[in-house]
Amino acid sequence: MTAEQREAHILKKRIPVVRGPQGQYWLVDSHHLSRALWNNGEREVPVVIEADLSAEPDFWAALRQRHWAWLQDEHGAPIAPEQLPTRLGDLPDIPYRSLAGYAASVGLFDKNGPAYFIEFAWARYLGEQLHWAPVNAATLATRLREAAQVACLPQAASLPGYPGRACIGH
């Protein structure tokens, strides 16, 4: 993106946050966009405060109840809140989450449904189906073709955003 395009995109896509303990703000969505902006030198972006949960006795339970926390690692294993990065620059690269984002953008599944964390569910599924083969710039086109092959398998039918009728004939 040009600087002007990036600025327009940032203004359109406000980053959702919640206020938590000690007045700290926590991202509840757009983690990957935030990390990409950070990597490109952006240090200030507009946010939308979804809630003030600073007085909640169990902050993490309140986040989970509202579907604002995904407490799993990139392979779907549970993690404790203390294991989450506390700084944007420390957010990990999750290659299969990125692959799921690309898969959604080419129509392999619909991420606009009512379910939460759709891309993470698809990331875990794709990783399992593709045996966690490396995903990087050099392998992305191949992994996307492989993702297209497994998106319509019967095992994917229970995933949110499953392509359904688009799979007829696969």
**Quick check: 123 and 96 in contact, CB under 8 A?**
yes
pLDDT at 12: 86
Domain extent listing, the chain: 3-73, 95-167
| Model confidence pLDDT, tens digit, residues 22-70 | 999 999 988 888 888 888 888 888 999 999 999 999 999 999 999 999 8
169 pLDDT exceeds 60?
no
pLDDT at 35: 87
CA dist list (Å): 10 to 14, 15, 17, 39, 42: 6, 8, 15, 14, 10
| Model confidence pLDDT, tens digit, residues 77-101 | 999 999 998 888 898 889 999 999 9
SS3 content of the chain, % helix, strand, coil (to 5): 45, 10, 45
Rounded CA-CA distance 124/100 in Å is: 9
Task: Round the average pLDDT of the chain to a whole number and report it.
Answer: 90
**Quick check: 134 and 128 in contact, CB under 8 A?**
no
| Model confidence pLDDT, tens digit, residues 115-131 | 788 999 999 999 999 99
State the fold for domain 3-73.
3.90.1530
The tokens for 73 are 């690692």
111 pLDDT exceeds 90?
no
pLDDT at 102: 93
